[in-house]
């Protein structure tokens, strides 16, 4: 993973699932479900959708119906075990990249922008998923899920970090309404892309700063939006 100057024209904070990598996998087993089952707990799967949630939030939801005084410790144990379970499930198979990847990441660096990550995945799960293109991201600009984190917690850390460095021009790119709401809460620009589980029409209702079908067919619109920050 590269470490480039964070004093470039700006920073793009990328979501991972559905934005950089395809949300569809040949091996569709959920590491979260398997982790909880290994501890002898039947996971709660009643939530309508957990798309856009952090790894911790997903596990917390799956243990929602579990009533035991040891529940806090169990949640910690599951969170720690999730990385190894993910390694076993994914088995080092490369993830399919979304349309336009990694060309858009390479072009951004050529134009003087930094690529960072803002994800609900743990650091290890982020590394597994992005192993084939990890060098296109600045290691100083990775904001991932830690124990107890919501997406808002992670975005807050990013906001504090950039404020401490006096850095503006921060753009979140994601594929869910949660990405849009989090970006707006912390004053970031937000680009939505319909390469995940949500359609363009569904994302449009949440009013992102820019809405794209994907980064292959809409690359010109994306770079026009980016270049406007230089003027």
Q: What is the DSSP string of the chain?
A: -B---S-SSEEEEE--BTTTB-S--SS---HHHHHHHHTT-------S--TT--HHHHHHHHTTT---TTHHHHHHHHHHHHHHHHHHHHTTPPPPBPTTTTHHHHHHHHTTEEEEEE-SS-HHHHHHHTTTTGGGSBGGGEE---TT--HHHHHHHHHHHHHHHT---EEEEESSHHHHHHHHHTT-EEEEESSSSS-HHHHHTT--SEEES-TTTTHHHHHHHHHGGG-
Mean pLDDT, range 155-184, rounded to an integer: 96
Least confident stretch, 1-15, 146-160, 163-177, 217-231: 1-15
- Per residue in 95-114, pLDDT (tens digit) is 999 999 999 999 999 999 99
- Per residue in 47-92, pLDDT (tens digit) is 556 889 999 999 999 998 888 888 999 999 999 999 999 999 887 7
Mean pLDDT, range 113-123, rounded to an integer: 97
Mean pLDDT, range 158-164, rounded to an integer: 96
| pLDDT tier, 8 (very low <50, low <70, confident <90, very high otherwise) | confident
State the pLDDT at residue 2: 46
Mean pLDDT, range 24-46, rounded to an integer: 84
Q: Is a pLDDT exceeding 50 seen at residue 4?
A: no
Mean pLDDT, range 209-228, rounded to an integer: 97
Q: Is a pLDDT exceeding 90 seen at residue 94?
A: no
Which carries the bigger pLDDT value, residue 28 or residue 96?
96
Q: Is a pLDDT exceeding 60 seen at residue 5?
A: no
Least confident stretch, 19-28, 112-121, 173-182: 19-28
Domains of the chain, CATH where assigned: 10-23+95-230 (3.40.50.1000), 31-90 (no CATH)
Q: What share of the chain has pLDDT > 90, as a percent?
A: 80
Mean pLDDT of all residues belonging to the chain: 92
- Per residue in 207-218, pLDDT (tens digit) is 999 999 999 999
Q: Is a pLDDT exceeding 80 seen at residue 46?
A: no
State the pLDDT at residue 93: 76
State the pLDDT at residue 3: 41
Mean pLDDT, range 12-34, rounded to an integer: 87
């Amino acid at each position: 993973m590269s470490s480039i100057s964070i004093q470039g024209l700006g920073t793009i904070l990328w979501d991972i699932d559905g934005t950089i990598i395809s949300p569809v996998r040949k091996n569709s087993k959920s590491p979260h479900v398997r982790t909880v089952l290994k501890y002898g707990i039947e996971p709660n799967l009643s939530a309508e959708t957990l798309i856009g949630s952090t790894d911790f939030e997903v596990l917390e939801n799956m243990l929602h119906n579990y009533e035991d005084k040891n529940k806090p410790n169990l949640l910690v144990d599951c969170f720690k075990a999730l990385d190894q379970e993910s390694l076993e499930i994914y088995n080092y198979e490369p993830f399919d990249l979304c349309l336009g990847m990694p060309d858009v990441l390479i072009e951004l660096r050529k134009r003087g922008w930094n690529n960072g990550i803002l994800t609900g995945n743990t650091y290890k799960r982020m590394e597994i998923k992005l192993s084939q293109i990890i060098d296109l991201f600045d290691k100083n600009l990775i904001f991932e899920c830690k124990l107890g984190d919501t997406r808002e917690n992670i975005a807050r850390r990013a906001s504090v970090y950039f404020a401490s460095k006096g850095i503006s021009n921060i753009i979140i790119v994601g594929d869910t309404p949660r990405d849009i709401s989090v970006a707006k809460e912390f004053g970031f620009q937000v680009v939505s892309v319909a390469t995940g589980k949500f359609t363009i029409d569904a994302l449009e209702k949440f009013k992102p700063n820019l809405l794209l079908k994907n980064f292959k067919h809409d690359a010109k619109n994306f770079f026009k939006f980016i270049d406007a920050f230089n003027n």
